[in-house]
Amino acid sequence: MPNDRQITGLVSIDMFYFRPGHTSQLIVLGIAILFQPHVYATDNEVSTTCTRIASKLASINLIECLDRNLLSSASYSENNTPLLIKEYPPLENRKPQARILLLGGIHGDEYSSVSITFKWMNILDKYHSGLFHWKVAPLVNPDGLLRRKSHRMNANGVDLNRNFLNGVNDNAGLEYWKKRTHSDPRRYPGKKPMSEAETRWMHQLISEFKPDAIVSVHAPYGIVDFDGPPKPPTHLGPLHLHLLGTYPGSLGNFAGEQLGIPVVTVELPYAGIMPSEKEISRIWVDLIRWLKGNVPKDKTKGNRLFITGSSSLDD
Ligand SMILES: [Zn+2]
């Protein structure tokens, strides 16, 4: 969640991530791949979106994106971009310990949050052991990332991390925004909670998948934030626990505080620079270790019942 000053500094980093001249190669490659349907079990929507992602992020190339075998979720962003998802289902003869939802790119200018989610999917593709049942959405806000100059908000200028149900009333987010952020456009919560297609999609995922924990990746604070039960991780790799608090309409407020689902927010140190390979691996290993030791516990089991019985989630 960079502030305005940090965002100004990202202009040059944006150029670092966007590689002019690379697009035409990717289009040629994309066309070649489309004519080899037996190689990539993917559809045109996924190919097109992967081509756009690869054109934007230096650390994810087209093959790497296609190799993740993402699926169209049948839901779309406000600008009609498919919202992509990958499931790592339970394996035969092993009951998963918990269901985990991993989200990247809620804020469109936090490039590293998308890239690292792809890198972690690569690990899951190789080593998914059935310990957890995963659903991974590496780019929740495609319209924010995939515009010419990426920005935090979605296509309607809404901060998706302020657009969830706030548990108070429809105006609580807007009132907080006016009073506490002085109507900062980068934190606009939308006309009312759940006004945005991307938020409704995340809400639907939570409602249907009933995750025992949610991991949401952001940048650039370089810390671990946490909402909800149980005990938070003290650190994930080089990132140490630092509680930032929640805001009306944030995912941490909605899922962590209202629904009682543990929400681990991984705040990478830079929005435009990836952690090293070693750090990417260390954060992942520590995250798995914490999930294994803490999710689900008694409290989170109770919360699953709460979700099932919650009419508000089905609104
Ligand atoms: Zn963020």
DSSP 93-162: T---SEEEEEE--SSTT-HHHHHHHHHHHHHHHHH--SSEEEEEES-S-HHHHSSSS--SS-TTS--GGG
- The predicted pLDDT at position 20 comes to 41
Residue 157 counted as domain residue: yes
Instruction: Give, as residue ranges, everything with CB less than 5 Å from ion ligand 1.
Output: 1, 107, 110, 218
Tokens of 253: 């407020």
User: 216 by DSSP, 3-state: which?
Assistant: strand
Q: 275 C-alpha vs ligand 1 centroid, how far in Å?
A: 16
Domain count, the chain: 1
Q: 110 C-alpha vs ligand 1 centroid, how far in Å?
A: 6
pTM of structure: 0.83
Task: Name the CA radius of gyration of the chain, rounded.
Answer: 19
Helices (H) and strands (E) counted in the chain, each on its own, are 11, 9
Residue 68 counted as domain residue: no
Residue 13 counted as domain residue: no
DSSP category for residue 257: I
Beta partners for 225?
Answer: 265
Residue 28 counted as domain residue: no
State the CATH number of the domain containing residue 118. 3.40.630.10
Cα angle at 159 between 267 and 144, to 5 degrees? 85
Query: What residues have CB less than 8 Å from 207, skipping those under 6 apart?
Result: 307, 313, 314
- The predicted pLDDT at position 38 comes to 39
Q: 1 C-alpha vs ligand 1 centroid, how far in Å?
A: 4
CA-based nearest residue to 214, from 227, 201, 224: 227
Q: 106 C-alpha vs ligand 1 centroid, how far in Å?
A: 6
- The predicted pLDDT at position 230 comes to 87
Omega prior to 37 cis, within 30 of 0: no
Q: 309 C-alpha vs ligand 1 centroid, how far in Å?
A: 30
* Domain carrying residue 245: 73-314
Profile the chain (315 residues) by mean pLDDT over runs of 10 residues.
33 34 48 45 84 97 97 95 97 96 98 98 97 98 98 98 96 96 97 98 98 98 96 97 93 97 98 98 98 78 37 24
- The predicted pLDDT at position 294 comes to 96
Residue 31 counted as domain residue: no
Tokens of 150: 């990426």
- The predicted pLDDT at position 43 comes to 80
Q: 217 C-alpha vs ligand 1 centroid, how far in Å?
A: 7
Q: 97 C-alpha vs ligand 1 centroid, how far in Å?
A: 29
Residue 56 counted as domain residue: no
Q: How far is Cα 221 from Cα 238, in angstroms, rounded to an integer?
A: 12
Residue 131 counted as domain residue: yes
Q: 25 C-alpha vs ligand 1 centroid, how far in Å?
A: 31
